[in-house]
Amino acid sequence: MAFRDVNARRHIGLQQLSSLALAGRTLLGPMKSCKFIVDESTNQSTLICSAVRLIESLDLTSAAGQLLNETIQAQNKEFKTGMSTLLFLIGAWSNAVLECLQQNVPVSAIVSVMSEGLNSCCERVQCLQISTHDVNKELCSSSVRPNAFKSKTCQIGHDDLLNPQIFLHFQKDISAPEEVIPINSCPQQEDDCNFNKCLVSPLTGFGSIASLVKPAGDKSTSVISGSGVTASSCNRQKLTHSRYFSTLGKSHFSSQQGNFQGYLSGQCECYGLGHLAMTLSHGNQTSMKLLQSIVAYQQERAECSGSSRFNIAEIVTCCLLGLPESYSCVSPGFVTLVSPEQATVIKYFEDKPLRILLMDGDLTEQYRHLGFNRPCNVRTVLEHPSLQEVRAGDLWLSSMLDILISFKVNLVLVKGNVCENLMERCIANSILVIGSVTRDVLCAFGEVTSAQPVTYLTQLNASCVGSGAQVELWEACDGRAMDLGELVPVGIKVRGVPLLTAVLTTTVASKMQLIEDQFWTLVYRLHHALNDEKVFLGGGAVELLCLSHIQMLAEQPLQPANKNTVKEFHNPWLAASATEYKSVVLQALASGWKQYLSVVMCNTAKAASELEACTLVDHHLKKAAESGSPSAYILKGFRRGDLLRGGSGPFADHGEGLKVYDNVTAKTEAWRRALDSVLLVLQTDAEIITGPKRNQLLNSHVSSEFMFL
């Protein structure tokens, strides 16, 4: 066993956390700058725009890095949102804790004051929660002012996505790649020379993306170079639905008015979810519009059937590479990609209702259900060889085909892989077989067609086959031909099937993942908001209140020690030294949120520098304190839409801004997880390396760093 002391003067683990988190600074807030991650060994690069993808692409062999990865993945699995906040706060709080250690604050004091401080803040900010029901009502009340209403209300349908102005606007929002992080070296951009070393020149960065999009044609390349030109200015871009930044640029305002025409009248209550989706979208127009369409569809269905209003399990995505982003839309039913050969089957179907079969395994001869152990010691002997002997594989193929034909099956959805030969035979017999279908999709089709999923075709009986499915080639809204080369999108529908497919389109291959991620993030935000039944006021309101609350906690005279101890669990090993260092540690906690606000303001170009942003935050804190009731002050600022604004900006006179909201649980959990990881690393004083690596270390040049048992 090798043993390394990590707590020598400057805590190595915390330093690692802070330097890893530094790479995620520009991913914070609604204006994210994408990054290229370049693998130096293979020269392959990935375009990323979220903390999860960043962490996935980095080499994280250190213990602290592993912990960071685990934390981010856990948040992603649970919420699909809040990972950038988590990553940022881990970095900010690591730095703050390192400062505390420099001032000789005992570890136990840091741990107890910080975790109690966070607890207290989480309780305090409850007053900035607003129930989702009230968000809906807000829309109703604001509808009396038609001017505000027009810019705010949601729309259904996807015609507006065709508007070139919006499209361009969106293109610019996805700002140009800002940094290139070499995958194999530690990201440290703080000092300039280091930064320059890491930074492959921007030209090569764009070069690589240009080569990526070549097959898509000239148009997309020009889009990319266009955004490259605006790279320097794009941080100045004003956002429309940002939670941090709620002014509306005049030009955008008018262009949107044009778009938001022909909605609903008077039925605002029904479209409340659409409004909620918009307030949670934080400026992501494309995803928002798709989500609003989904919400409208589901709401309509909910009114008929009484099922839940928003069901995440009924949403699937289908990524189409090669169509402009304006073609993104929502299609009822299940849209998926098939080979051109499979697509030829469809024209034989015409409009007749199809018999559908669902399979929850692979459709291959070798496949056996999970837990089936193949016998290894069985030998088959052929006693009377005959001349008409058929090969075993052919036997299987023809018997499977016979089963399908005898049950008159037209369409087979398979969860796993499909045997190529069987696929060919099926196509020849006008049976469409589609593989890699998720379980949720199988379930949805099972419910409406009364098909029972089977594992083997031999299990099949009449009651397993469903009916009433329809398949057609999927068409873009303008009927544009789908010449995507290898794969063809098809839509599968059954009357009453609750599935909705968000068809995501882009001409830039490297953006596909990014667009899909962003869509799901927004879907989950709405999902969590409805689960929580409440949302936080956005735009930095919550963080600002935390800061003001900490200010108050730090100034509070020390509580008389005996006041609460009567009925409280006594733990002298934790509590004793805490009071002495309270204000220092609370400042450290506050610095996390302060940096968060200032970085968001810088990323959204609301402040020219972090210093300016900090001053602005301080200014608001002071005013909040002077007002006597910080929460009322913040609430007022939020309602006016000028929270965290200097007051002298070009749009200061603008009326009511758009309200922006945030998830409650996802946000507070991100805070808690961030602090937990920092404190976990802080309390760690040694790494113990087990296994074969020990001998390697013993003989290596760093062996002096280790002790061996």
Partner 1 sequence: MSRLEAKKPPLFISEPLTKDTVSQSLSLLSGILKSCYGPAGRLKQLHNGVGGYVCTTSQSSAILSRLSVSHPVLSVLTASVQNHISRFSDCGLFTAILCCSLVENFKSLNVASCTVIKISKHLLSLCMDYLKSEACGCRVSVDFSSLEALLCLVRSVLTSKPACMLNKPEVDHLTTLILKAFMFTVPCHVETNAVLGKCIIVPVKGRRVVDSTVLPGLLIETPDTQLAKPLAVKRTCSNMIKIALFCVSMSGDLSNPEEGTITVPYGISLEMSELNQLLNVGKQLVNDEVGLVVCQKVIHPSLKQYLKENHVITVDRAGLSLMEPLSRMTGSKPIASIHSLSPSCYGSLKDMRIEKFASKHFVHLIPNDTVVCSLILCNRNETAWDELKRACETAEHVLQLTIKEPLALLGGGCTETHLASYIRHKSCSLSTSSFKDIDCSRTQYQLVADGFCRSLESVACSLNHDDGEILTDMVYGHCWFVPSGFPSVSNWSDLVSKCGCGINGNTENLNWRLLQGQFGSPIIQGCPKDPSVKVADFLTLDCFAAKCSGLQVALETANLILDLSYIIEDQN
Chain positions 352 to 391 lying near partner 1, rule: CB under 8 A, are 360, 368-383
Longest dimension (CA), the chain: 100
Does residue 115 bind partner 1 (CB under 8 A)? Answer: yes
CA angle, 208 as apex, 204 and 214 as ends, to 5°?
Answer: 135
Element housing 506 (H / E): strand 500-506
Choice between 108 and 143, CB closer to partner 1: 108
What minimum distance in Å lies between the beta carbon of 547 and partner 1? 21
Indicate which single residue of 108, 194, 450, 615 sits in contact with partner 1 (rule: CB under 8 A).
108
Strands ordered across the beta sheet of 35-38: 45-48, 35-38, 179-182
Choice between 19 and 71, CB closer to partner 1: 71
User: Pattern of binders to partner 1 over 78-97, x per CB under 8 A?
Assistant: x-------------------
Three-state secondary structure of 247-314 = CCCHHHHHHHHHHCCCCCCCCHHHHHHHHHHHHHCCCCHHHHHHHHHHHHHHHHHHHHHCCCCCCHHH
Does residue 40 bind partner 1 (CB under 8 A)? Answer: no
Does residue 573 bind partner 1 (CB under 8 A)? Answer: yes
Does residue 481 bind partner 1 (CB under 8 A)? Answer: no
Choice between 428 and 688, CB closer to partner 1: 688
Site stretch for partner 1 (CB under 8 A), options 178-186, 221-229, 250-258, 680-688: 680-688
Q: Does residue 375 sit in helix, strand or coil? A: coil
Alpha carbon separation from 155 to 255, 265, 278 (Å, rounded): 15, 11, 10
How many Å apart are CA 255 and CA 160, to the nearest integer? Answer: 11
Q: How many CA atoms lie within 13 A of 143 on its CB side?
A: 18
Residues 233-272 that bind partner 1 (CB under 8 A): none
Q: How many CA atoms lie within 13 A of 668 on its CB side?
A: 23
Does residue 569 bind partner 1 (CB under 8 A)? Answer: yes
Tokens of 558: 């020390």
Three-state secondary structure of 321-349 = ECCCHHHCEEEECEEEEECHHHHHHHHHH
Site stretch for partner 1 (CB under 8 A), options 59-67, 216-224, 335-343, 518-526: 59-67
Count of residues touching partner 1 (by CB under 8 A): 90
Residue 356 phi/psi, 5-degree rounding, is: -115, 140
Residues 173-232 that bind partner 1 (CB under 8 A): none
Does residue 60 bind partner 1 (CB under 8 A)? Answer: yes
How many Å apart are CA 363 and CA 357, to the nearest integer? Answer: 12
Does residue 695 bind partner 1 (CB under 8 A)? Answer: no
Choice between 166 and 442, CB closer to partner 1: 442
Choice between 264 and 313, CB closer to partner 1: 313
Does residue 612 bind partner 1 (CB under 8 A)? Answer: no
What minimum distance in Å lies between the beta carbon of 374 and partner 1? 7
Indicate which single residue of 231, 403, 477, 697 sits in contact with partner 1 (rule: CB under 8 A).
697
Choice between 561 and 608, CB closer to partner 1: 561
DSSP secondary structure code for residue 43 in this structure = -
Choice between 345 and 674, CB closer to partner 1: 674
How many Å apart are CA 442 and CA 413, to the nearest integer? Answer: 7
Tokens of 2: 């090798």
Element housing 360 (H / E): none
Choice between 46 and 450, CB closer to partner 1: 450
What minimum distance in Å lies between the beta carbon of 671 and partner 1? 12
Does residue 698 bind partner 1 (CB under 8 A)? Answer: no
Does residue 703 bind partner 1 (CB under 8 A)? Answer: no
How many Å apart are CA 295 and CA 302, to the nearest integer? Answer: 10
Choice between 62 and 421, CB closer to partner 1: 62
